[in-house]
Amino acid sequence: KQEVTQIPAALSVPEGENLVLNCSFTDSAIYNLQWFRQDPGKGLTSLLLIQSSQREQTSGRLNASLDKSSGRSTLYIAASQPGDSATYLCATSGGSYIPTFGRGTSLIVHP
């Protein structure tokens, strides 16, 4: 059974800081790993999808890396802004188990 852990559970930073959110998973036989953003009372918005054969993906100020062998992914947010405040979730998909989410990292960026 796949288990996904996200650290830290919560983070509060001043505007402008560069951030690192961590996601670890126990079964490295994944097809892909996806990072999502969830605003309060809303659904999930896909941020980045990393295929199992890829090492990283970038979109604007976001960069996600994947190290399958160590069971880790990192979401890097550059020059954080108050609008980045949300919960960030990672999820893995694989052939032998169902799509599995972590509990998320709740981020607050204050002006």
Q: What are the residues binding another protein (CB under 8 A)?
A: 4, 31-32, 34, 36, 41-46, 49, 51-52, 89, 91, 93-95, 98-104
Nearer to another protein, 71 or 102 (CB): 102
Find the shortest distance in angstroms from Cβ 111 to another protein: 26
CA dist list (Å): 54 to 19, 32, 48, 49, 89: 22, 9, 12, 10, 19
CA torsion 14-15-16-18 (nearest 10°) is 60
Q: Positive or negative CA dihedral for 84, 41, 57, 104?
A: positive
Distance CA 73, CA 110 (A): 25
What does the chain come to in residues?
111
Find the shortest distance in angstroms from Cβ 20 to another protein: 19
Find the shortest distance in angstroms from Cβ 32 to another protein: 5
Nearer to another protein, 34 or 65 (CB): 34
Find the shortest distance in angstroms from Cβ 14 to another protein: 25
Nearer to another protein, 14 or 31 (CB): 31
